[in-house]
Structure 1
Amino acid sequence: MSLTLTPEYEASYKSFSTYPQNLLNTHAFFPAALRAYKIHLDAAEDTLFVQNENAVDVPIADLDENGNYIRKKNIFSDQKLREYIGDTVEEDVQTHELIRGSYASRPDPKCRFIYFWAKNTQAPLKITRKMLTRIMTYHQVTPQFFEFLFLFGQRSNAHDLRYSGFREKTSLDFPSPGQALPALGRSGKHFQLCYNLKRPESLTPPGTPFRDQEWSIRPAAIFHHFDVETGGTMWIVIKRDLGLKEDIQELTGPDGRIKDRSFATPGQSFRSSLAVHSLLAHWATTNWRWYIQYLEDTVDKETQAAVHGSRELVSNRKNFSPMDLQHVQWWEERAVEAKLILGGISNVLQAIIDYYASLLSHRNFSLSTTCRPDIESLAAQMRDAIADCKMQRDRAELLTQIASQRKTLILQHLQSQATEKMENLSLMTQKEAIAMRIITVVTLIYLPGTFVSTFFSTDVVTYQGDRNSESSSSNLGTSFSTTAMYRWLQVALPLTFCTLGISWIVYKYATMKTVTRLSKHWENISLPR
């Protein structure tokens, strides 16, 4: 069954590959902004999307006014996506002119959930660019959603995961040309919200001790469209896995509360949409208590020896290294990151509260009277979540202070260890200096005598005294000359004393010169400038 669509919408859908520059409501954005989104999309295509349709997996679920599933399928190709949304067009291959069929053959369901997911945060989403731009164009999704979509598919350790935000686009007055599509169940009066949330998730099995666990921060990007006249609701949820899909299906499934899965009237649809927001807020604020405790236990483990360990010279004393500082620095940065993310979550939840509060005062929001209690209830739940975020943020703030202080303590221990090594080296040097002085003194004492003895043993000085005289004696081939001995003493002793005296004078002169130089140096330092 072909549906009547506006020419503007058909032209927009036909050029879906140029998204977001093909949107109907392009006047709401500067051309430069749309062009920038397109450039970023081109640059991120290889890492953001799978390139082969064999890897595509896009779960879509449609609900009727009673909350029953009309259709619930996983889409594995662009052709299957076209069949799902009702695109039966056949075009001429060369001219791209319409031969037969319609761009839409079935109206929108009362509520639709579309899930984009990947193996992990750094893996590409299980959807091709062609399929994504087709979905975005078919539902006229605001390009602001790209700001949160680009957080996925990053192969490196991206700092963009710390980014949080909230965007809205409200069209409750007169719809833009081509946006009113009664055949699809779209009045053109709607609002669109997009934001992202994050929470830590444990990568280890349940029951693992905190110190042995591994955690990772997982982002989720949310898009929500609500038609205020028809009650049509559409959600796009992007996450690393399908955990949120299971939570939402539990909320809107047969076992869920009736008011959370009723779409018969715009008011009921609105209440059901608020329940999903509340679920997402609950999802984003869980696990933070345990993640902060994990960080606290890990920091305690890394720094326990610095706080409680003995610093006496015992065999089991821990000697710290620069690597210990690096470990504590890494965990401190994780705590700072947690504090930043918790602040971002609080800001997003507060932005949701403020936006729905502003709807109550909007002159064209027809549900302000009937749905005021529901908005107030949502605001109360959001404030509770914000209060929990604030408490966990305070814990993270305290942890960063503790980690910083213990990092300083480890640095002091490193300096103390360096001082001990310098003291040991100084003691060894002092002992070596004493030994060298002893050797020097002994050398100064013996050097003159050795020199004189060497000189007297040459042919320059020869003593040939009388063998029968008193000054010489001979016994078994041994001769001794008293005269030679006197002459040796007369020369060696004065020369020894002179050598020692000159050495002492030189030593005292060098010492005085050093003291004078140091005195002048300290005087220059102490002079006022």
Structure 2
Amino acid sequence: MAPTYHLDDLRSLEKKINEKAHDLFKEKPGRAGLQVTRIFKQKTGNRDIRESERTVFIKDLDVCDVSAVKALQHDNQDDTQIYTIRQDRSWTTLNISRDLFEGFVNTHNVMPPFWKHMFTFGRKIQENEFQFPHFARRSTSSWQWLKEGSNEQRGEAGHQTEYAYMLRRVEINGRARSEDDNPWSIRQTAVYSKFSNSARPFIAKDDQAQALQPRVYEQAKCTFLLVAPSENAEAQFAQCLSQSTGCNGTPLTPWNIHRILVADSLSGWMDYMAYLEKRLKEQSDHVVLATVGDDKVNLSPLTDFIINFDDRQQLKIIEDQVLDLQVILPGILDAVTQLQKEFSGFASHSLCFEEKEREELYEIAQEFKEYVREAGMLIDRSKALNDMAISTARLLSDLLSYEEAVSLKKLSYETQMESKSMGHLAEKSTKDAAAVKILTVITLIYLPFAIVSSFFSTQFVTIKEDGHLHLATNVWLLAVIAIPLTAITIGSWWTWVYLTEVKPTQDPLQPGIVTLQRQHSFKSIMSSKKKHKPNDLESGLGLARSPMFPPAFHAGSPTSTWSSQATTVKSEKSG
């Protein structure tokens, strides 16, 4: 036989396992991390061949260590073994230790792609719908030839087929306390199945042709691993097992196990989509039935409808739930389609199964065709729900835009009225300014007369008895005192204006930074005239003054800003 090479990237897979193992596995004290249901045939001692065997099962047998897994794997008595890993709550760890799970994987030689299905479990804060893998299948065959022995022992063949897929389902969570709470939760189940069978080829008695011809399989064994199955599926398993006991009972075959899991996965989606449709219609009716405008005003606020951004947020949540359906349902359809193809292939394999098994497989394959149609119908309805959500969101957005237009119209009207008021105030201010101007002109007209009259009313000018004016000899004191006082007043005003002028100064430590400084007090004038000691290597570097605002604040400012002390801005030369 030609050698085969392992094409799985086990190194990257091991690294990912080590990263996620902490949030994926956690053994519960006092509880078995793994349970198994064994199904096998038992002799009855009846002479009738048809009634010589009956189906027996052992349900929920605890498996606590790897040695028990190995013992069950080498037990050839069992026809089917269903291992179960449970999970107390969604989005939390599985109730199994990492050592026990890896022991199961190594013992049963589980295909590495099944780890991708396991990574969808564990602790998380939100669901990543794009993390769920597709249907995985792997088939291996082997032949072992013996050099010694009889013709019946000279050759033996083995064939194994592995399946791994995810099934998503919706269930009532029982946590809804109000109408706004979502009563549904989306959960998942990982399914691993290995169908192992062995056969011995028929060898001609004359030992001449040495031609091998296929023969009916003598032994077949199926192993299942169900991760977080639903309570409904486990109840159906228990019911089928109870009905399989007895000589005339129908055994729980591997094909029925797949059928129960798929039927349970598809059962709740119709009701869940009806719930989403109801919520969408509530939002749509709320918007469509609103009264917009009246007969008097064409563009007016809504009279009986109050809408805000919370309604848009609620609609966005529904939109996300509908979009999730378009990712989940195609994955379910892919798994159901692949299983239907496998069962149809098994049903047509007349050399591997008895007539009764082929009939059962054919019936199950036909039932899976109905599951494929149902999954396709659910996908079409999810697309219709998505279109409904988009149209409702568009209508709601238009309504919000309408309200914004109404608010802008009101604001424009109020701005117009305010502009008119400002115009009246400006007109009044202009009239007041004209009155003040007139008063100023009148004051300027009478000012020379007031000055002259004030001068003649002083003691420097007297009128003698003969009616002549007489000036005092010290009249020069008026000019000596008034002229210097006027000069001092004008000089003080000019000095104040000059010293309080904003002057740009450049920081020597930061050549690209210019400081606008305003001196407005005697203290600032005196402090600016202090001499600074020169910086050299012996005296050390001088401490640089830190600006009142961080440079990053002024770097992004389009205009310069000055304060009572100093403000740093970027100079035009450095820019």
Bigger CA radius of gyration: 2
Instruction: Give the match for residue 390 of structure 1.
Output: 376
CA spacing shift, 1:198–1:38, aligned 2, 3 Å: same
**Equivalent of 1:334, from 321, 335, 360?**
321
Q: Check whether the contact 1:360–1:368 (CA below 8 A) recurs between aligned residues.
A: no
Amino acid at match of 2:22: D
TM-score by length of 2: 0.62
Q: Check whether the contact 1:50–1:56 (CA below 8 A) recurs between aligned residues.
A: no
Shift of 1:198: 0.9
Instruction: Give the match for residue 13 of structure 2.
Output: 37
Instruction: Give the match for residue 197 of structure 1.
Output: 167
1:353 aligns with 2:346: no
**Equivalent of 2:275, from 294, 302, 325?**
294
State the SS of the aligned residue for 1:86. Answer: helix
Instruction: Give the match for residue 367 of structure 1.
Output: 353
Q: Check whether the contact 1:162–1:337 (CA below 8 A) recurs between aligned residues.
A: no
Q: Check whether the contact 1:189–1:227 (CA below 8 A) recurs between aligned residues.
A: yes
Shift of 1:333: 1.4
Amino acid at match of 1:250: Q
CA spacing shift, 1:69–1:176, aligned 2, 3 Å: farther
State the SS of the aligned residue for 1:311. Answer: coil
Query: Gaps (5+ residues) in structure 2?
Result: 42-53, 147-155, 198-216, 294-299, 451-575
Instruction: Give the match for residue 239 of structure 1.
Output: 228
Distance 2:234 2:55 in 1: 16
Shift of 1:257: 10
Instruction: Give the match for residue 67 of structure 1.
Output: 55
Shift of 1:358: 3.9
**Equivalent of 2:440, from 454, 457, 466?**
454
Distance 1:114 1:446 in 2: 97
Q: Check whether the contact 1:187–1:227 (CA below 8 A) recurs between aligned residues.
A: no
CA spacing shift, 1:249–1:447, aligned 2, 3 Å: same
Pairwise mapping of residues 79-478 of structure 1 onto structure 2 (< 5 A)?
A: 82-83=67-68, 85-86=70-71, 106-160=75-129, 163-172=132-141, 174=143, 188-204=158-174, 213-228=182-197, 229=217, 230-239=219-228, 242-254=231-243, 261-262=250-251, 272-312=253-293, 317-359=304-346, 366-367=352-353, 371-457=357-443, 459-460=446-447
Percent identity among equivalent residues?
15
Distance 1:37 1:141 in 2: 14
State the SS of the aligned residue for 1:121. Answer: coil
CA spacing shift, 1:70–1:289, aligned 2, 3 Å: closer
Distance 1:395 1:256 in 2: 42
CA spacing shift, 1:290–1:258, aligned 2, 3 Å: farther
Q: Check whether the contact 1:68–1:254 (CA below 8 A) recurs between aligned residues.
A: no
Amino acid at match of 2:67: R
State the SS of the aligned residue for 1:412. Answer: helix
Cα deviation, 1:452-496, whole Å, max 9, x if unaligned, reads 233214533769xxxxxxxxxxxxxxxxxxxxxxxxxxxxxxxxx
Distance 1:246 1:84 in 2: 24
CA spacing shift, 1:438–1:256, aligned 2, 3 Å: farther
* Greater helix fraction, Structure 1 or Structure 2: 1
Is 188-197 or 50-59 further displaced after alignment? 50-59
Instruction: Give the match for residue 26 of structure 2.
Output: 50
CA spacing shift, 1:439–1:133, aligned 2, 3 Å: closer
Paired residues, number? 401
Is 128-137 or 303-312 further displaced after alignment? 303-312
Distance 2:120 2:421 in 1: 70
Q: Check whether the contact 2:27–2:94 (CA below 8 A) recurs between aligned residues.
A: no
Distance 2:111 2:250 in 1: 25
* Higher RCO (CA-CA < 8 Å; seq separation 6+): 1
Shift of 1:319: 3.4
CA spacing shift, 1:28–1:109, aligned 2, 3 Å: farther
Q: Check whether the contact 1:164–1:345 (CA below 8 A) recurs between aligned residues.
A: no
Q: Root-mean-square deviation (CA), in Å? A: 3.4
CA spacing shift, 1:366–1:164, aligned 2, 3 Å: same
Distance 1:260 1:38 in 2: 45
Shift of 1:165: 1.9
Distance 1:133 1:195 in 2: 19
TM-score by length of 1: 0.67
CA spacing shift, 1:164–1:286, aligned 2, 3 Å: farther
Cα deviation, 1:404-430, whole Å, max 9, x if unaligned, reads 111111111111111111111111111
Amino acid at match of 1:29: H
State the SS of the aligned residue for 1:44. Answer: helix
Q: Check whether the contact 1:170–1:192 (CA below 8 A) recurs between aligned residues.
A: yes
Shift of 1:68: 1.3
CA spacing shift, 1:280–1:450, aligned 2, 3 Å: same
Amino acid at match of 2:240: L
CA spacing shift, 1:256–1:423, aligned 2, 3 Å: farther
CA spacing shift, 1:342–1:352, aligned 2, 3 Å: same
Instruction: Give the match for residue 552 of structure 2.
Output: none
